[in-house]
């Protein structure tokens, strides 16, 4: 890999070092990673199979970045053959994560449904329909529970943050075991991973601001033209919006995945002794 990933050996890596290392990897391979991400976005137009390709190609970026971290760089073609061989496992992982997400949403709905029922019983049972204090008290309880629910969802989501890495890197891993592997690696590191993810998103804010400005400009230009019923301008507007969205996404996604690769490397090195030689050299 071109250049060192940091200035001093720190174990474990702190948030700033992880994000910095991810950025260095991203900058060192910007063109290759951008083209891979752009190719991945184009596959989104193909239902099911294309979605699996998107997940596999973006995970390939993480695999290539991890290869640099362990001082075993790999060609894009070699890495692509590996992730393509697990294409349906990537799809399985996506499906399982989707079902887990649906389960979390249903769980939250059930909890708030039960709480709403209990609140109604309390208000009606005590005859306090006209007592503002009761509503303020119940509102405060609902607010606290909402915060707890958000934290719980973030915690659970973070436990599955690294699912694509074992699937893209490790041997003898399928879609289901990749989920359990992510759960294992993230144990005891949830809030640190969440903080790194938050900082990574903040780093991409300038790109998102530019995208929002461009989108607004296009909307201002094309809205009057589209309102006149012109199909041609509608198609042009759609094409330009897709181009801006995919182009900006292809800039952001590689950075997110190189940062994930650094997190994965760091967790494995501390849990399993992976890459200690590289760490001694300098990270």
Could you tell me the pLDDT band of residue 1, with boundaries at 50, 70 and 90? very low
pLDDT value, residue 276:
44
Judged against a pLDDT cut of 90, whether residue 273 lies above it is answered with no
Residue 143 neighbours by CB distance under 10 Å: 10
Residues sharing a CB contact under 8 Å with residue 226, sequence separation 6 or more, in sequence order: 233, 234, 237
Residue 15 neighbours by CB distance under 10 Å: 15
Q: CA–CA separation, 271 vs 249, rounded Å?
A: 33
**Tokens of residue 209, six digits:** 């601001």
pLDDT in tens, 120-171: 777 776 666 666 777 787 788 888 888 998 999 999 999 999 999 999 999 9
Could you tell me the pLDDT band of residue 224, with boundaries at 50, 70 and 90? confident
Residue 219 CA: distances (Å) to CA of 210, 231, 263, 275, 279: 14, 15, 39, 49, 49
pLDDT in tens, 7-35: 333 356 688 889 999 999 999 999 999 99
Q: Which residue has the higher pLDDT, 133 or 44?
A: 44
Judged against a pLDDT cut of 50, whether residue 279 lies above it is answered with no
Could you tell me the pLDDT band of residue 78, with boundaries at 50, 70 and 90? very high
Could you tell me the pLDDT band of residue 85, with boundaries at 50, 70 and 90? very high
- Per-residue pLDDT, averaged over 102-106, amounts to 93
pLDDT value, residue 3:
41
Peptide bond before residue 272 is cis, with ω within 30 degrees of 0: no
pLDDT in tens, 172-221: 999 999 999 999 999 989 999 999 999 999 999 999 999 999 999 999 98
HEC per residue, the chain: CCCCCCCCCCCCCCHHHHHHHHHHHHHHCHHHHHHHHHHHHHHCCCCCHHHHHHHHHHHHHHHHHHHHHCCCCCCHHHHHHHHHCCHHHHHHHHHHHHHHHHHHHHHHHHHHHHHHHHHHHHHHHHCCCCCHHHHHHHHHHHHHHHHHHHHHHHHHHHHCCCCHHHHHHCCCCCHHHHHHHHHHHHCCCHHHHHHHHHHHHHHCHHHHHHHHHHHHHHHHHHHHHHHCCCHHHHHHHHHHHHHHHHHHHHHHHHHHHHHHHHHHHHHHHHHHCCCHHHHHHCC
pLDDT value, residue 115:
83
Window from 88-92, 97-101, 265-269, 277-281 with minimum mean pLDDT: 277-281
């Amino acid at each position: 890999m071109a250049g060192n990933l940091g200035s001093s050996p720190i174990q474990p890596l702190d948030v700033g070092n992880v994000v910095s290392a991810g950025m260095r990897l991203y900058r060192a391979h910007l063109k290759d990673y951008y083209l891979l991400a752009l190719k991945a976005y184009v596959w989104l137009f193909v239902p099911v199979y294309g979605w699996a390709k998107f997940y596999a190609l973006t995970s390939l970026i993480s695999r290539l970045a991890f290869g640099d971290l362990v001082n075993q760089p790999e060609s894009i073609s070699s890495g692509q053959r590996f992730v393509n061989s697990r294409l349906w496992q990537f799809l399985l992982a996506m499906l399982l994560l989707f079902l887990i997400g649906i389960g979390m949403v249903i769980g939250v709905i059930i909890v708030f449904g039960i709480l709403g029922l209990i609140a109604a019983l309390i208000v009606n049972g005590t005859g306090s329909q006209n007592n503002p204090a009761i509503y303020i008290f119940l509102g405060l309880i609902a607010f606290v529970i909402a915060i707890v629910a958000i934290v719980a969802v973030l915690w659970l989501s973070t436990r599955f943050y690294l699912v694509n890495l074992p699937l893209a890197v490790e041997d003898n891993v399928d879609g289901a075991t990749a989920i359990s592997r992510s759960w294992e690696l993230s144990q005891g590191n949830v809030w640190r991973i969440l903080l790194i993810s938050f900082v990574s998103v903040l780093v991409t804010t300038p790109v998102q601001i530019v995208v929002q400005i461009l989108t607004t400009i296009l909307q201002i230009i094309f809205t009057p033209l589209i309102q006149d019923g012109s199909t041609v301008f509608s198609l042009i507007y759609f094409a330009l919006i897709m181009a801006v969205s995919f182009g900006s996404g292809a800039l952001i996604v590689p950075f997110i995945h190189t940062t994930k690769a650094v997190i994965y490397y760091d967790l494995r090195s501390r849990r399993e002794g992976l890459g200690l030689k590289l760490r001694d050299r300098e990270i």
